Structure 1
């Protein structure tokens, strides 16, 4: 992709394989999901997962040749192109001749979507930074909430489910119904009292409330808001304090295991008890804190403070 402009069919197949890798699936069909591929291809700071959209990424990889030509880098092939094709003009002013090579025609076509000022804004120390150029082509903007979602010390699986919960893209029964998928009931599969949606599942469900309250009692005062909108605002704050980051670890674990319990109730008709879910959350957070001791001395000292803060950590 960094040398040739691949056929569209090949690029679509690459994107398809990436979707299968992300969501899982059988054969050529990925599992049901609600998050669009365009969002997945945004950087994590913009609300995506950092995948690259095949056709766009292929063109931007080839833009490094446009940058080399326009900045007149000290390369033999650049000098040859400027001497034979451009003859002192900029590539954007070049008039394509019918007898030009296939590769040169493709480069000229790619250059039409670029400008010298755009390439300069995506460069650093004389080099074109392709990831920066890719972001300039995206319509999305950075989202402060994603710093908390992708907290570096949270468990990866937990962060992935938290990311979908924040975006309200988990396959809850209300969203499945909106996709015209027939369901025996729209009620929450855990409490079977009210219709299931993200706000109910993680904040209003009797089961979830009891789980979260048990976690709050264990964290000795560390907590998060008890409704979805305030929760999202709370996550937007910049949390550098170690205790706050541990709270994010506990939050991600709580969301993950509540969703895990919901799926067991939905697919296996066997829900876990509150004590079992709370125990899983505590074990996950404890293992994460104890694992931080192995990272560095500074991290170990803060983890030791946390173990003193939570005497029942073990």
Structure 2
């Protein structure tokens, strides 16, 4: 699958094998497929089971979705202003053409001033007056870092099979499979991330998706004799079986909830599930975490199946079984730490003559601007500080990166060779220390890496916002000093 495109006939054979594996219990004995393959391949948060679509996965492994590639701007020398996707780090955008004969071969570097390494506003206004703010929000490299292709679907800009698969599935434009009357229903919080067993999660999914062989679902498949409820003779829908049947109502009334959630009065199973999720059991039951609702539904279903074989289980027995099952499972999840744990900070011995640099940035969304501040300390005394105002800053992260770059530039200019730079932006510190890419800060991170090579010793560390409070305050002051031109 990573080397060539598979034929569609093979996709169907693999899909058939996966379908039979999920629905059948024994080899050679086919059972009913209650849910379509397209619904099964939807993500769990959209009501599916997250099964892999073989064709989309093949496309992702082959990285055939090249339309989602973009260019990150460094020095701009290898990026054509008209034909490369360079205007956005999240979607493939190019300027609207057609280009003139004089400009069709221009590179992005032709829009950058040679001395300042900043955008040439006059040139941009001449070619793309409507894109001035968009282009100026891109921060080119000051140290001539080369341009790079990026994958627009990830934060880092690096390609991953997971995002390739996701985009391939979206590209197929499948119809939505969300439940028609459950626009506010959250699959993750109410089902998949619930504090109950995986078996209960799959059971709830089957009820909601109509994949449980209730009388109503069987009658839709041609089993007319299977429609009525064995206890009261009404149509055995999911709502009737788990909420409205007289047998079920008594079970819900017997349960020791702190406040009666009136689950049996709910009109739909989803409404009952939401009410059961909020219900709290009284302490004597031993149910300390997680809802009791799934376990009760499971025992109701078991009692219904037992009745088919003329085995009657009382309401009290069903209730007790549900409480015991929930309590036993929750008790089994408690992990006892027998080894103990220790925690503490790792102390780093810094070379002598190392100066500390505190940097921070303040960002204002409506202005799309940031204020940068850096403070250089030696032996806990401030020996230098500086600030910048930066316009056309697309996010707080870009502002933080600009502040670190400015701090390093000034430290190098002042002749310091050993520095310890501290910032309260964890994402940025991780990207610098782990050499990870962030596509919106591509040129800035490239400059930071080049500036690091100018020092004998550089150490980056994360500090709390409280420890960085002076830089935070001064950065806000730098942002408040908005140039009148804005």
TM-score band, normalised by the shorter chain?
0.5 to 0.7
Residue 221 in structure 1 maps to residue 259 in structure 2: yes
Deviations 1:254-299 (A, max 9, x none): 1112112222323x332322233222211111113323421789xx
1:231 offset after TM fit, Å? 5.0
The equivalent residue for 1:125 is 156
The whole-number CA distance in structure 2 between the counterparts of 1:212 and 1:43 is 32
Partner of 2:233: 193
CA contact (8 A) 2:252 2:263 kept: no
Asked whether the equivalents of residues 46 and 143 of structure 1 are also in contact (C-alpha less than 8 Å), the reply is no
Structure having the larger proportion of residues in helix = 1
Conservation of the 8 A alpha-carbon contact between 1:154 and 1:288:
yes
Task: Report the CA distance between 1:230 and its aligned residue.
Answer: 5.6
1:232: which partner in 2?
270
Provide, for residues 118-150 of structure 1, a one-character-per-residue CA deviation record: whole Å limited to 9, x for no partner. Answer: x95523311232354255344436863312022
Which protein shows a greater Rg?
2
> After the TM superposition, which of the residue ranges 46-55 and 282-291 deviates more from structure 2?
282-291
Q: Does 2:301 correspond to 1:259?
A: yes
Q: Secondary structure at the match of 2:233?
A: coil
Indicate conservation of the 8 Å contact 1:225/1:234, yes or no: yes
Residue pairs, 1:136-155, within 5 angstroms: 136-137=170-171, 138-140=174-176, 144-146=185-187, 147-155=189-197
Q: Give the Å deviation of 1:38.
A: 1.2
Residues 224, 241 of structure 1: alpha-carbon distance in 2 compared, 3 angstrom cutoff? closer
User: Is residue 44–residue 50 contact of structure 1 (8 Å, CA) maintained in 2?
Assistant: yes
CA RMSD of aligned residues (A): 3.7
Contact 2:24 2:30 in 1 (8 A): yes
Rounded to whole Å, the distance in 1 between the matches of 2:261 and 2:24 is 34
Contact 2:23 2:31 in 1 (8 A): yes
CA separation in 1, counterparts of 2:288 and 2:32? 32
SS of the aligned residue for 2:195 comes to coil
SS at match of 2:213: coil
Change (3 A) 1:261 1:169: same
In structure 2, relative to structure 1, the CA distance for the partners of 1:162 and 1:248 (3 Å cut) is farther
Equivalent in the alignment of 2:323: 282
Structure 1 CA distance for aligned equivalents of residues 31 and 326 of structure 2: 29
Measured after TM superposition, the shift of residue 65 of structure 1 is: 5.0
CA 1:291–1:126 in 2, change beyond 3 Å: closer, same or farther? Answer: same
Q: Distance in 1 between matches of 2:290 and 2:151?
A: 38
Q: Which residue of structure 1 lines up, in the alignment, with residue 334 of structure 2? A: 293
| Aligned partner of 2:251 among 211, 227, 249 | 211
* 1:251 Cα deviation after fit: 0.7
- CA change 1:66–1:164 in 2 (3 A) is closer
Indicate the SS of the match to 1:253: helix
- Shift in CA distance, 228/241, structure 1 to aligned 2, threshold 3 Å: closer
Equivalent in the alignment of 1:307: none
1:104 maps to: none
Partners of 1:241 and 1:277 lie apart in 2 by: 18
Kept in 2, the 8 Å contact 1:60–1:134? The answer is yes
Task: State the partner residue of 2:209.
Answer: 167
| CA distance in structure 2 between the partners assigned to 1:14 and 1:284 by the alignment | 37
Shift, 1:28, TM fit? 4.4
Aligned length: 251
More strand per residue: 2
Structure 2 residue runs of 5 or longer lacking an equivalent are: 73-82, 85-90, 94-149, 282-286, 339-486
The answer for the alignment partner of 2:347 in structure 1 is none
State the distance in 2 between where 1:143 and 1:36 align.
23
Q: TM-score, normalized by length of structure 2?
A: 0.44
Stretches of structure 1 that go unaligned for 5 or more consecutive residues are 74-88, 91-114, 298-314
Length-normalised TM-score, structure 1:
0.66
Tell me if structure 2 keeps the 8 A contact 1:122–1:132.
Answer: no
The residue matched to 1:49 in structure 2 has which SS?
coil
Structure 2 residue matching 1:193: 3-state secondary structure: coil
Quick one: which of 157, 160, 178 aligns to 2:220?
178
C-alpha spacing 1:231/1:200, structure 2 compared with 1 (3 Å): closer
